[in-house]
């Protein structure tokens, strides 16, 4: 079902776009769209329409917009380096993710 290799609460670093280099925690993952929402990254300005509020409460809200997963890379919680996890199997056949940098199971 979940084809994303990035999950909620993973730490990721942005590798493309205006927020390149920023790190943050994944707030939510949207596997059907291959998108993730990352804390503090890709803020989008949402204008509140004055027409809808009778001209009084026109305002600007800022909140995180989703990013395509190809624009982020998972950060290894062990060595704190951006990494693409390799898949490996334990002796009992359990599939695990392994950091290619430090070889720790992540």
CB closer to Zn ion, 31 vs 82: 82
Interatomic CA distance for residues 37 and 1, integer angstroms = 19
Taking 3-state DSSP, the helix, strand and coil percentages for the chain, each rounded to the nearest 5, stand at 5, 45, 50
Task: Compare residues 22 and 101 and give the one whose CB is closer to Zn ion.
Answer: 101
> Count of residues binding Zn ion (CB under 5 A)?
6
For residue 87, the surrounding DSSP H or E stretch is strand 85-89
Residue 78 binds Zn ion (CB under 5 A): yes
- Which is closer to Zn ion, CB of 15 or CB of 102? 102
Could you list the residues that contact Zn ion (CB under 5 A)?
A: 76, 78-79, 99, 101-102
């Amino acid at each position: 079902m979940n084809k994303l290799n990035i999950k909620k609460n993973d730490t990721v670093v942005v590798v493309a776009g205006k927020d390149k280099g920023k790190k943050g925690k994944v707030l939510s993952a949207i596997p059907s769209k291959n998108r993730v929402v990352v804390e503090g990254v890709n803020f989008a300005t949402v204008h509140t329409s004055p027409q809808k509020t009778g001209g009084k409460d026109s305002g600007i809200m800022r909140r995180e917009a989703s990013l395509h997963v190809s624009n982020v890379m998972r950060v290894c919680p062990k060595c704190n380096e951006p990494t693409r996890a390799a898949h490996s199997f334990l002796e009992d056949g359990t599939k695990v993710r392994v950091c290619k940098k430090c070889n720790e199971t992540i």
